[in-house]
Structure 1
Amino acid sequence: MDAETTSESNNDELFEHHKFLASAGQEPLRVDKFLMNFIENATRNKIQQAAKAGNIWVNDKIVKQNYKVKAGDEVRVLFEHPPYEFLLSPENIPLDIVYEDEVLLVVNKPAGMVVHPGHGNYSGTLINALLYHIEHLPVNSNQRPGLVHRIDKDTSGLLVVAKTEDAMAHLAKQFFDKTSEREYIALVWGNIEEDSGTVEGHIARHPKNRLQMTVYPEGDQGKEAVTHFEVLERLGYVTLIRCKLETGRTHQIRVHMKHIGHTLFNDERYGGNKILKGTTFSKYKQFVENAFKILPRQALHAKTLGFIHPLTKKHMQFNSELPEDLANCIDKWRHYSKHNR
């Protein structure tokens, strides 16, 4: 599967345009199901609306949602967004601000909050909340106000936000030069034999599932990615680890840990929402399902963030407590491993 995704805008509307080339091994599949496999947050209703509006093309011909995509087909879809100004409208959403001064702030993002507006997430994002808190924010190269870096929707933890253009440039350079400090706490499936280690491997989109990233060990595709890990606690069928990022690629920790056979606990996108390690006992199955309910997301928290302050040039480091859902899940595994050895 080769794919290209672009965004287009004019004065009145924001559009999202996707283009895919079905691979040689593509079995006949309805175009609506095909698109749902490859576009994040593309609901069946959204695809149906695009089809009704004549905004789905295969080989440059408008098709209905029941068209069967075949090998070699070029599939294009255009989604209409609300006006751009609406996407970036201020919203009175509470923020957990850890630190703030005249040029930056550090926020502790809860799990479930999307960082910036986009297809399927038009409001309720961190950016909407920031724009209510701060009247003017500088924009980065992707036109996203204040953002120096980001974390996934269902990952909790610390983010630094720039309030001035100078601060954004200074902070962005630190992230680019790999001098910023980012440490995460993760709960992964399986017992990691090594006490510590490093995962290296270029990361790019998965060739068959465009919603996933994957590792290209030979470095022939994607971008360099380096993750250092350290075992904090062995809990039987799962391991609690600390991960330090040397680079910051999309889904980096999630992809790297899966690559070495230790998918994050309850990471639905990468298969961690299934019982990957353990026994076949029904009591164990019930235990894991209850743990999934306690932590209904991937077990990942951005705990530590460090950088040089753009004005004072002093090193600053911030730490956040584990959120309740992750802490409770870890405690549940501690109890289970203690009493089932």
Structure 2
Amino acid sequence: MFTATDFIPSNYTHTVESGNFQWSAPSNIALVKYWGKKDNQIPANPSVSFTLNNCKTVTKLAFTKRDNSITENATANTFSFDLLFEGKPKEDFKPKIQKFLERIEIYLPFLKEYHFTIDTENTFPHSSGIASSASGMAALAMNLMRLEKELNPAMTEAYFYQKASMLARLGSGSACRSIKGEIVVWGNHNNIPGSSDLFGVEFPHTVHENFKNFQDTILLVDKGEKQVSSTVGHELMHNHPFADKRFAQAHENLEQLIAIFENGDLDKFIKIVESEALTLHAMMMTSMPYFILMKPNTLEIINAIWKFRNATKIPVCFTLDAGANVHVLYPNKDKEIVLQFIQDELVGFCQNRQYICDEIGSGAVEY
């Protein structure tokens, strides 16, 4: 069993003066939801997600060793970095990066020895209502781990990816599920070998052909900022009247998905995934203070999906993040007819008729 201290390095064997790396990391969509956390970004329940392919963050990291002459200067004990978004300075992102670096310094003790230039961009539209924290923190974690690998070339590939996932978690919990693909579990579960609260792991069991190349079309119902941040939402689970039952339910649903992924039962898959989405929002609506992140058009889309599925028997379903947008999930073999249904009946409920076609992907990639 891993502990966080396993990721604190001993002395490095090599030195690096300067360089640059570039990694992309995708977003992911949880099927069993993570909602509620303990200290240090530890999840209150296990979750499982599809890693996406097209919605991703691409981050370039340039680094230069800081002048040794400043070691007596107070600025030497600070992090030194510039942050660019789509090539332009982005000052309002810097506090989140500062907090991330503070959290991970114990695991990457070289951080204050370098000046970093972080240049990041998303393949999906900014302010599209798609959370970029998971893909963004995962991409940054991959770059920083790539630098650590230069300092310690003997590092194993397994350690590299586990530690990258662990670091990403400290920036954004769900980011730990964006390092690998195609199906990733985060959180201890008795029947998921190797599962951990510290990092995400690739789903270790057999996956039926029905779930290969699974499609996710994201309907952009509301592209504005959420009224309630996910951080606040997670905190509201601490005194939630239904929290314990919800955490037990997540374990049970993940247990059922193990068999469903193996036998390919799409009807049972749909029941769990849609129930999980509605349960997530039910937790928000029954917390104190309570809040509603779904919009009227979210409900219109859900009802239209149910009507279409009943009429056609095509196994299409929805899931939701902590927001108003709808992820439409369906097998690759039904892609043509489902996309036609989306264009005919659902895009009218999207802001500016916008939607994004995505599918299961394999995780972070170095360029």
From the two aligned structures, give the one with the greater strand fraction. 1
Greater relative contact order (Cα < 8 A, sep 6+): 2
- TM-score, normalized by length of structure 1? 0.23
More helix by share: 2
